[in-house]
Amino acid sequence: METVSLASAFAPHIVAVVGVALAIMADAFGRRALAVFGASAGLAGGAVVAGIAHGRPAAISGDLAVSGAGFSVVSAVVLGLAAVVVIGSLGWLRSTPSGGGLAALAAVVAIAAAAIAQGADLLVLLISLEAMAVGGYALVWSARTEASTEAALKFFVQGAVATSLFVLGLAILFGMYGASTSYVWLRAGMAGMTAPPVTTAFVLIAVALAYKLGAFPFHSWAPDAFESAPPHASALLAGIPKLAVVVALMFLFTRAVFPYIDPTIALWVFGALAVASMAFGVFGGLAQRSYTRMLAYSGIAQVGYALVAPALGAPAMMAVAVLLIAYAAAAAVAYLIAGYVRSVRPEWDGTIAGLAGVGRSHPLAGAALVVAMFSLVGMPLTAGFWGKFLVFGMAVSAGFWWLALVGVLASVVSFGYYGAVLKAAYFEGADPGGQGAADSPAPETTPDVPAVTAACVLTLVLLGIGVAPLFIGLRWVATLLSFA
């Protein structure tokens, strides 16, 4: 691995931080729109820089960060997606007090996620997790309602406990083996030992990351947080952090630090988490009446599908990256559409039934909803299919066909709630011939145009990734996302 300078590894993040600074200053002067554009531009710039770096083979630079190939691509996707979502939230951010500051915080969350995706040092991971968490608490709180305040506090308390567990795990590993918290040194220090302390540290760090992913039983913050947070904030917090954390988890557990741990331990730990999350997310989702809370449960289920990958080991890294890129985009669309519907139908009580006739009265939003829902289910012609195809394909080729079957059947049950959204959006309203539910827009609603435009852009991405492989195969995905 030829070394590349640390600065160039963190170049994308530095560019984005400039955007954050710009945003904070703009907000200070009360120019919220400028702040949002600044933050989004910073993120976009970072995405471009990361994209350029993807040509190089993966290399750990300065013992702290890994860049090149798949890692840079994930970092680029994280930053790019965040840029789109931040711009998509322009309508909301402009109308909410200290919107510029929130845009800056959103950018910080994205940058931290990108840092996690490229982190090769436990301390870098810790600091980024903390930054992402702080940004998350503020964003969840920013709806300024009783529910969001309470949800933010719960988010904080569990986050604090998770962080302390992470520190405990770091203490054990660093204290006993490492001259530094970098993966390279830790691995050298441990030199193949699988003594109980290593497995304990393995579990503690896995728990901290699983908490951030929202896997069962560490999921409790997700439903409350994503339901009461402003939908635009949830759009950012739902998908993007999960993508980064899973890539970090895969790199940490299957390649960098714990590769020689007995594979059955990895299979059992991550397999158990995966199946539990799938079951909880899918069945829990069925019982939900609120649209955003249902999406939170579906997030837990999607994490369940993703955690199948670490259970299989290193080769499944590309597969899970595709799965979660698709999920991040689809979740962003789903939440942005919720934002849009709230702006168009102020009387919407947030329930799925409340979406009656949205498909008919707002065709664009409806189309985005259809593609997002089908991508979350994993239907062919959408990106979600290829994610599940690769992950379950890996599971099957590793011999765990039953795990693939559980996953696929969970996706079938998940149609129970994804389909309910489409049912409400298109089948409700008067019997054929009648217009949708009374949706004569109240005079003062201003449709959240940025949100629906951002949603449509991401929808095209989902469709693009969904249909392109039919013609040009999956080889380009393999080269792009190779984490070799």
Partner 1 sequence: MNLLVVAMLLFSVGLYGVLTRRDLVAVLASIEVMLGSATLLLVGLGATGEMIAGTQVGGGTVEATGVMIIVLAAAEAAIGLALVVAVARRFRTTRIDELTGVKG
Partner 2 sequence: MSIESVVFAILAGVALAGGIVTVFARDVTRMVIGLAAFLLSIAGFFVYWKASFLGVVQLFVYVGGVLVLFVFAIMLVHRSTEGSPYLETRHDIASITVAGGLFIMVVTALKDFVHDPVAGAMVTGTDEVAAVLLGPMLTHFEMVGVMLLAVLVAVVIIVGGEER
Partner 3 sequence: MTGIATYGWSVVAVPLVIAVLAATAGRVLGTRVAALAALAPAWVFAVGVAASARVLAGEEGAIASGSVEWLGAGLTVGWAIDGLTALMLLVVGLVAFLVVVFSRGYLGPGEALPRYFAVLALFTGAMSALLVADGFLGLFIGWELVGVCSYLLIGYWFTRPEASTAAVKAFLTTRVGDMGLLLALALLWREVGDLSYTAVFAAVPGMEASTVSTIGLLLLVGAVGKSAQFPLHIWLPDAMEGPTPVSALIHAATMVAAGVFLLARAWPVVGASADVQTIILVLGGFTAIAAAGSAGAQRDIKKVLAYSTISQLGFMFAAIGAGAWVVAMFHLVTHAAFKALLFLGAGSVIHATGTQRLDAMGGLLKKMPLTAGTWFVGAAALAGIPPLSGFFSKDEVLHTVVGADLGWGVMLFAASTLTAFYITRTTVLVFFGSYRGEGVPHEGGWDLRVPLVVLAAFAAALGFAGGPIAELAGGHHGEIDVLVASIATALAVLGIAVGAVSGIRPKQGADVTKLAFVGPLRWARNGWGFDEIVRQTVTRPACATARVLDRVVDRGVVDRSVEGVGALARLVGRGYSALQSGDTQWYTTLLGAGTVALLALVAYLGRGV
Q: Encoding tokens for residue 62?
A: 């300065």
Residues 437 and 357: beta-carbon distance below 8 Å: yes
Give the residues lining the site for partner 3 (CB under 8 A): 153-154, 157-158, 161-162, 165, 194-196, 199-200, 202-204, 206-207, 210-211, 216-218, 220-221, 223-224, 262, 264-265, 268-269, 272, 279-280, 283-288, 297, 413, 416
The site partner of 147 among partner 3, partner 1, partner 2, none (C-beta below 5 to 8 Å per kind) is partner 1
Q: How far apart are CA 439 and CA 354, in angstroms?
A: 11
- Based on CB atoms, which residue is closest to partner 2, 35 or 282? 35
Residue 115, binding choice from partner 3, partner 1, partner 2, none, Cβ under 5 to 8 Å by partner class = partner 2
- Residue from 18, 34, 48, 134 touching partner 2 (CB under 8 A): that is 134
Integer CA distances (angstroms), 378 to 98, 370, 465, in order: 38, 12, 12
Shortest reach from residue 155's CB to partner 3, in Å: 9
When asked if residue 447 is in the footprint of partner 2 (CB under 8 A), the reply is no
Using CB under 8 A as the criterion, which residues of the chain lie in contact with partner 1 when the complex forms? 123, 126-127, 130, 134, 137-138, 141, 146-147, 149-154, 156-157, 160-161, 163-164, 167-168, 170-172, 174-181, 185, 188-189, 191, 223-224, 227-228, 288, 290, 293
Q: Of the two residues 108 and 206, which places its CB atom closer to partner 2 in the complex?
A: 108
For position 297 contacting partner 2 by CB under 8 A, the verdict is: no
Residue 200 touching partner 2 (CB under 8 A): yes
CB of 179 to partner 1, least distance (A): 4
State how far the Cα of 197 lies from the Cα of 136, in Å rounded to an integer: 32
Smallest gap from residue 287 Cβ to partner 3 (A): 3
Position of tokens 């870098």? 124
> Quick one: what does residue 250 bind among partner 2, partner 3, partner 1, none, with the CB cut-off 5 to 8 Å set by partner type?
none
Between 206 and 356, name the residue whose CB sits nearer to partner 3.
Answer: 206
Q: Give the nearest distance from C-beta 130 to partner 2 in angstroms.
A: 6
- Residue 137 binds partner 2 (CB under 8 A): yes
Binding site for partner 2 (CB under 8 A): 6, 10, 17, 20, 24, 30, 62-65, 97-98, 101-102, 104-105, 108, 111-112, 115, 121, 123-124, 127-128, 130-131, 134-135, 137-138, 141-142, 168, 172, 176, 180, 195-197, 199-200
